[in-house]
Structure 1
Amino acid sequence: MKIKHLLFGLLLAGTAAVAQKSKKEVLFTINDKPYYTDEFLRVYNKNLDLVKDESQKDLDQYLELFIGYKLKINKANKLGLENGQGYQNELKQYRGQLAKGYLSDSKVTKELVDEAYQRSLKEVRASHILFLVDENASPADTLKAYNQALDVYKKAVAGEDFGKLAEQYSQDPSAKDNKGDLGFFSAFRMVYPFESGAFKTKVGEISKPTRSRFGYHVIKTTDMRDNRGDISVAHIMILKPKTDDPAEAQKAKDKIFDIYNKLKQGENFESLAKQFSDDKSSSSKGGVLNRFGSGQLSSEEFENAAFALTKDKPLSEPVQSQFGWHIIKFIDRYPIKTYDEMKPELENKVSKDDRSRLITSALNEKLHKKYSVKRNDKVYKQVVAAVTEDYYKGEWETPDLKNFSGKLFSIKDKNVTGADFLTFILAQQKAGHTDKPIDKLVDRLYVKFVNDQLTAYYNDHLEAEFPEFAAVMDEYRDGLLLFDLMEKEIWERSKTDTLGLKSFYEANKAKYQWKSRVDIVLASSTNQDIIKKAQKFLKENQTADVIKEKLNTKDKVNVMTSSGVFEEGNDALPKNIQFKEGVSEVFKDGDYYFVAKVNKVLPAGAKTLDEAKGRVINDYQQYLEENWVKELKSEFTVKVNRDVFEKVKKEVKS
């Protein structure tokens, strides 16, 4: 329900507004506040292909929905919800996310995305020898680390054992154990300069010293292989016990191995998955999972076991993960995703790693061309003179900023003062800059300060620069208000209004019904004689555990059992089972023989409020909202300009 009724505020497809043929006119007013045709048509056209409900494509119906949406926004404003701290914080966060697409250089971004995709097609194996040096180290310290790296590079190229050199010289602590070997990795697994060094170095060759934010690396590329792509599998899962009880853990392990033994005996994987898998999201489908690639699941053990399977070896032994035990069945393999499929993900990753520095540099160059910045050298010299050697010790403090209020530079209508720059310099002190002499350090900080100011100004004026950015922000702003309003007026009320909920349930009780249910113990086997023995034990009131103990052996699982209350049509029940109390006759369903002990038959009937509560709350929310819009139309005055609306309808049809 939430998604449907947040349609206008939250379905932000990011598409540019569709150009309108007609001029902007007032379509309707709410308490004399106008709403225009251009916004209505933009939202209608943008969402036209997204809605599945045909009634929402009908313009008359759509107008009613749109007016209802705007009524809710007016109500939210009337209640002052836009002043809430949570709303303000979320709006700011969203704007920051949306602005990222505008605060980059598209050409450089595309080049980096293209490169990342080509690298993602492969996995490279590399070893390295690291010489640590800070990004802001002095030129002398940087040169010292480089020369150390160069000396070891020469030794490696001359034929000395790379692993031994890593053990002896590398300042990466792991080198003592792995001899510098980092295993296989693909794009985005390492810092960008290191990744580039590994991918650009041919297999078997050694790179010259490569600089990253950690220092200098000497890299040896030892292997390269194709990316594994995606795989499709099915699984049977037995959940890890919720407690650390060893007996329960052993019980889970025994159960998965019982199932595995039945599979080895030739029993059907899909049937066993339906009967016994604890993964209820896949058990009804025979254990089939959605396809996945390396790193997409949260269990490396599961992934590695799955990718080890083939058509010739389609079944794994029981595999333990942090979630429990699995038996995995191979279905199919798929090649790595296409460029278009991976593009959004790659763009996001590019923006977050060291590649972003290249994008930032390109943006800075663009902004320097867009906004002319001329420095006031008199004010700048005054600032430089105010920064002392105490800065290197982290003890420098700004002088009286009133004396530095002169304009250092301007960006269009915005003046930036010497005091602003000094405040920035103070904030940078904790970064531990070591550039010397002090005037060189201030020069470098000035470059960063100007770039930051240019970016901030550009960011602050995105709405004026890009109409589509302003439109999306307006929609999201309204969407957030609507969400907060719905939370306050509908969703919380439906959960806390116990009397109203109970009254709604009583009036609609016929909608919430159980099918027939059965409290049952069920035994299954591919061997009819075994099931007959199980039948005898059930008649003697033996428990399911006793039956398994008597009929199964260490080497062979002859019978499996399940018990509980099941509703008619449940996948765990055989299709032709009879809902009749007592021990059943032996019957067959597919490849399996079954016997059931029905402890109690629970007839079809109404669910209690507690049993149906989730669905009742959802229906009650819908009921409240439908009546709420009627109340809002009484609270606010709505006037629709019918002549203008008829023009809109003709335009859309044409």
Structure 2
Amino acid sequence: MNLKQLFFGILLSVNFAGYSQNANKEVLFTIDDKPYYTDEFKRVYNKNIDLVKDESQKDLDQYLDLFVGYKLKINKANKLGLQEGLAYQAELKSYRNQLSKNYLTDSKVTKELVDEAYNRSLKEVKASHILILVAENASPADTLKAYKKAVEVREKALKGEDFGQLAIQYSEDPSAKENKGELGYFSAFRMVYPFESAAFSTKKGQISKIAKTRFGYHIIKVEDIRDNRGEVTVAHIMILKPQSQTPEELQAAKNTIQDIYKKLQQGENFESLAKQFSQDKSSAPKGGVINRFGSGQLSSEEFENAAFSLAKPNDISAPVESNFGWHIIKLVEKHQVEPIENMTAELEDKIRKDERSRLITNSLTEKLRKKYSVKRNDKMYASVAKTVSDKYYFGEWKLPEDAKPYEGNLVTIEKNVVSGNDFLNYLNAQQRAENTVKPIGKLVEKQYQEFVDYKLNEMYNANLEAEFPEFSAVMDEYRDGLLLFDLMEKEIWEKAKTDTIGLQKFYVDHKNNYTWGNRVDAVILSSTNKDFAKKAQKLLKKGKTADEIKTEFNVGEKVNVMSNAGVFDENSDALPKESRKKEGVSDVISDGEYFYVVKINKLLPAGIKTLDEARGKVVNDYQQYLEEKWVGDLKQEFKVSVNKPVFEKVKKEIKP
């Protein structure tokens, strides 16, 4: 996520989001005599009261100051003319296009597709297929030829010929020669929609009807249908494959994962071993726990299968190899498929990105044809159609040299007049696609109907602000937010990064805020056997390395001592709690199930960080300082007048 995405995520979901109409409003304050009303202030406050972490922002006086500051920045952005920037206008248009997708839909069809997708998501189908390639816009002759071939191959399968061998012989899927057409298990949204529909409507052990997708014709054999495995939460200990992957380094990594597995079999604690040794830095501090997942969601089938094969919480797998390294997996929890009411939003989002969305678009278009009046000027249409020749099929057709005769009305949609030239330009653009409908008059009629559909949707989209007040409100919020981002980047963020003198001075004035805690450069040896810990302590005192000690004590299949080394914060989970913070070799320390010996090579005391060491935090604090100073300057530049009696009334109406 980049800075702008994060900024708008906060702005629109926390600071100034939400919408409600409220006719009962009064002027709360003005900026250069421009009024801002109580309804907006109360709305954003009530929307965000449970979300803000800073208690000061819940105070209404503080919140009003923040709100006025926000509006001052928007006024400054408009004063600077940032709303005229081409990049700003392009991004605002892009956002509107994204937001409008939520409104350009048919809710009834969407619900039917959600229900269908959910019911399919309860199952997983194992299938094989044979593909006969044919392009979407292939000629009728080529399409018929491919279809006949698919029919012939399906007949062979129905008569009992081995499906895998038929896939090897006839399938034009390049992978078929290796996998005999096997696709494994899949659920909803894992295949293109027509393929998925054919598979889910075919019984186990049977051959599907011929399915047409954008790739060609498919013959599908359903080999198994099982209940969806749901999702699992697991923890893992991971040892990464070395980058160079020399035999020696690979063997060392394998030995490490095997040593850890032996320690687990000896009864040692999974979470402790994960914190000490797992090389997955994101999950190690949490005892190895990773986010829950379902079939096909990870990039390692081996990892998934091993995770789903664990039966009960706390069951632990043997080491599993993936493309990334070796894993020992512990089951934390199994999750069944959620009820449909919990999955509706997720399914709707997937449908919007899937071929299913065409069904919704077509349904909406039919409604728009009933909603808006459409009247064609047949005389203009005939004139336009005459200009299109068979050269259109070869991409050689040219627009008429004289465009004036086609400037008149071709079609009227409600009160919007569309000219013949608009349609001619549309035809010219569509010439780049493959067009197989013949004769040419029939193709022009087809293109005209699609053109009208396009114009209907375009007009509906353009009027969304009038159709849906909440859409208009969100667009206003985003418009202001985008201006605010550009303004902050110009006035604050870039200055904080490039003003080296100001940043240095700010750091010097506040350097006591940027400090290291106490740290140690240490080697940690651990064992569940106190005697081995004592022996390791003696060898450490004699100057033996951790590797030398492990070589001596870890004999055959038995792992008696593990090691960890590096620079640790004195409160690190890897350090035993009772270890003394002084240089040298510690006593044997008992902590939980383990006995530890710690050799501290060097104490690194608390102290002030250099500017380079603390740069990220210093820049962030400097930005905040500049912003506070800047808002103060804006209050001098613009005339702000708060209607105090109205604000007192608001404070009585709102209960923080």
- TM bracket (short chain): over 0.9
TM-score by length of 1: 0.92
Q: Aligned to 1:508, what secondary structure does the other structure show?
A: helix
Residues 461 and 596 from structure 1, CA distance in 2 versus in 1: closer, same or farther, beyond 3 angstroms?
A: same
Which of 434, 437, 442 matches 2:436?
434
Q: Which amino acid aligns with 2:91?
A: E
State which drifts further: 168-177 or 432-441: 168-177
Q: Which amino acid aligns with 1:584?
A: S
Q: Aligned to 2:332, what secondary structure does the other structure show?
A: strand
Match of 2:326 in 1: 325
Once residues 13 and 67 of structure 1 are traced to their aligned partners in structure 2, the CA distance between those partners, rounded to angstroms, is 13
Kindly report which structure 2 residues correspond to 1:579-590, keeping only aligned pairs within 5 A, or say none. Answer: 579-590=581-592
2:637 aligned with 1:635: yes
2:63 aligned with 1:62: yes
Q: Aligned to 1:596, what secondary structure does the other structure show?
A: strand
Once residues 487 and 247 of structure 1 are traced to their aligned partners in structure 2, the CA distance between those partners, rounded to angstroms, is 51
Kindly report which structure 2 residues correspond to 1:339-418, keeping only aligned pairs within 5 A, or say none. Answer: 339-400=340-401, 401-418=403-420
Once residues 644 and 295 of structure 2 are traced to their aligned partners in structure 1, the CA distance between those partners, rounded to angstroms, is 57
Residues 86-126 of structure 1, C-alpha deviation per residue, up to 9 Å, x if partnerless?
33332222111110011111110111111111111111122
Match of 2:575 in 1: 573
Match of 1:108 in 2: 109
Match of 2:280 in 1: 279
State which drifts further: 170-179 or 418-427: 170-179
Superposition deviation, residue 199 in structure 1: 0.5
Residues 227-250 of structure 1, C-alpha deviation per residue, up to 9 Å, x if partnerless?
111111111223344555655444
Q: Which amino acid aligns with 1:510?
A: N
Q: Aligned to 2:374, what secondary structure does the other structure show?
A: coil
Kindly report which structure 2 residues correspond to 1:588-627, keeping only aligned pairs within 5 A, or say none. Answer: 588-627=590-629
CA RMSD, aligned part only?
A: 2.8
Q: Which amino acid aligns with 1:396?
A: W
Residues 565 and 574 from structure 1, CA distance in 2 versus in 1: closer, same or farther, beyond 3 angstroms?
A: same
Q: Which amino acid aligns with 1:460?
A: A
TM-score by length of 2: 0.92
Once residues 366 and 329 of structure 1 are traced to their aligned partners in structure 2, the CA distance between those partners, rounded to angstroms, is 53
Match of 1:217 in 2: 218
Once residues 480 and 488 of structure 1 are traced to their aligned partners in structure 2, the CA distance between those partners, rounded to angstroms, is 12
Superposition deviation, residue 391 in structure 1: 1.4
Superposition deviation, residue 5 in structure 1: 8.5
- Give yes or no for contact 2:313–2:331 (8 Å, CA) kept in 1: no
2:95 aligned with 1:94: yes
2:543 aligned with 1:541: yes
Q: Which amino acid aligns with 1:271?
A: S
Q: Which amino acid aligns with 1:105?
A: D
Superposition deviation, residue 295 in structure 1: 3.5
- Give yes or no for contact 1:8–1:69 (8 Å, CA) kept in 2: no
Residues 296 and 185 from structure 1, CA distance in 2 versus in 1: closer, same or farther, beyond 3 angstroms?
A: closer
Once residues 324 and 622 of structure 2 are traced to their aligned partners in structure 1, the CA distance between those partners, rounded to angstroms, is 36
State which drifts further: 188-197 or 336-345: 336-345
Q: Which amino acid aligns with 2:321?
A: Q
Mind listing any 5+ residue stretches in structure 1 that lack a counterpart? Answer: none
Residues 313 and 286 from structure 1, CA distance in 2 versus in 1: closer, same or farther, beyond 3 angstroms?
A: closer
Once residues 437 and 445 of structure 2 are traced to their aligned partners in structure 1, the CA distance between those partners, rounded to angstroms, is 10
- Give yes or no for contact 1:18–1:45 (8 Å, CA) kept in 2: no
- Give yes or no for contact 1:9–1:480 (8 Å, CA) kept in 2: no
Residues 10 and 119 from structure 1, CA distance in 2 versus in 1: closer, same or farther, beyond 3 angstroms?
A: same
Residues 518-539 of structure 1, C-alpha deviation per residue, up to 9 Å, x if partnerless?
2212211223332233223222
State which drifts further: 494-503 or 327-336: 494-503
Once residues 504 and 188 of structure 1 are traced to their aligned partners in structure 2, the CA distance between those partners, rounded to angstroms, is 53
Percent of aligned pairs with the same residue? 65
Residues 443 and 21 from structure 1, CA distance in 2 versus in 1: closer, same or farther, beyond 3 angstroms?
A: closer
- Give yes or no for contact 2:17–2:477 (8 Å, CA) kept in 1: no
Once residues 448 and 186 of structure 1 are traced to their aligned partners in structure 2, the CA distance between those partners, rounded to angstroms, is 34
Residues 227-285 of structure 1, C-alpha deviation per residue, up to 9 Å, x if partnerless?
11111111122334455565544433332222222222222212211222223333233
Q: Aligned to 1:11, what secondary structure does the other structure show?
A: helix
2:74 aligned with 1:76: no
Match of 1:524 in 2: 526
Once residues 241 and 179 of structure 1 are traced to their aligned partners in structure 2, the CA distance between those partners, rounded to angstroms, is 34
Superposition deviation, residue 35 in structure 1: 2.2
Q: Aligned to 2:283, what secondary structure does the other structure show?
A: helix
Residues 487 and 525 from structure 1, CA distance in 2 versus in 1: closer, same or farther, beyond 3 angstroms?
A: same
- Give yes or no for contact 2:521–2:602 (8 Å, CA) kept in 1: yes
Residues 440-474 of structure 1, C-alpha deviation per residue, up to 9 Å, x if partnerless?
11111111111111111111121122111110001
- Give yes or no for contact 2:206–2:222 (8 Å, CA) kept in 1: yes
Once residues 132 and 18 of structure 1 are traced to their aligned partners in structure 2, the CA distance between those partners, rounded to angstroms, is 53
Superposition deviation, residue 54 in structure 1: 4.6
Match of 2:252 in 1: 251
Which of 453, 464, 467 matches 2:466?
464
Once residues 561 and 294 of structure 1 are traced to their aligned partners in structure 2, the CA distance between those partners, rounded to angstroms, is 36
Superposition deviation, residue 380 in structure 1: 1.1
- Give yes or no for contact 1:490–1:621 (8 Å, CA) kept in 2: yes
State which drifts further: 304-313 or 461-470: 304-313
Superposition deviation, residue 14 in structure 1: 11
- Give yes or no for contact 2:131–2:171 (8 Å, CA) kept in 1: yes
Q: Aligned to 2:119, what secondary structure does the other structure show?
A: helix
Once residues 167 and 283 of structure 2 are traced to their aligned partners in structure 1, the CA distance between those partners, rounded to angstroms, is 47
- Give yes or no for contact 2:314–2:332 (8 Å, CA) kept in 1: no
State which drifts further: 36-45 or 636-645: 36-45
Residues 463-504 of structure 1, C-alpha deviation per residue, up to 9 Å, x if partnerless?
122111110001011112212222232233333333333333
Once residues 214 and 4 of structure 1 are traced to their aligned partners in structure 2, the CA distance between those partners, rounded to angstroms, is 38
Once residues 81 and 459 of structure 1 are traced to their aligned partners in structure 2, the CA distance between those partners, rounded to angstroms, is 26
State which drifts further: 514-523 or 453-462: 514-523
Kindly report which structure 2 residues correspond to 1:184-333, keeping only aligned pairs within 5 A, or say none. Answer: 184-243=185-244, 247-311=248-312, 314-333=315-334
Aligned length: 653
State which drifts further: 365-374 or 50-59: 50-59
Match of 1:36 in 2: 37
Once residues 531 and 120 of structure 1 are traced to their aligned partners in structure 2, the CA distance between those partners, rounded to angstroms, is 53
Once residues 6 and 75 of structure 1 are traced to their aligned partners in structure 2, the CA distance between those partners, rounded to angstroms, is 19
Q: Which amino acid aligns with 1:269?
A: F
Residues 249 and 73 from structure 1, CA distance in 2 versus in 1: closer, same or farther, beyond 3 angstroms?
A: farther
Q: Which amino acid aligns with 1:425?
A: L
Superposition deviation, residue 509 in structure 1: 3.2
- Give yes or no for contact 2:125–2:187 (8 Å, CA) kept in 1: yes
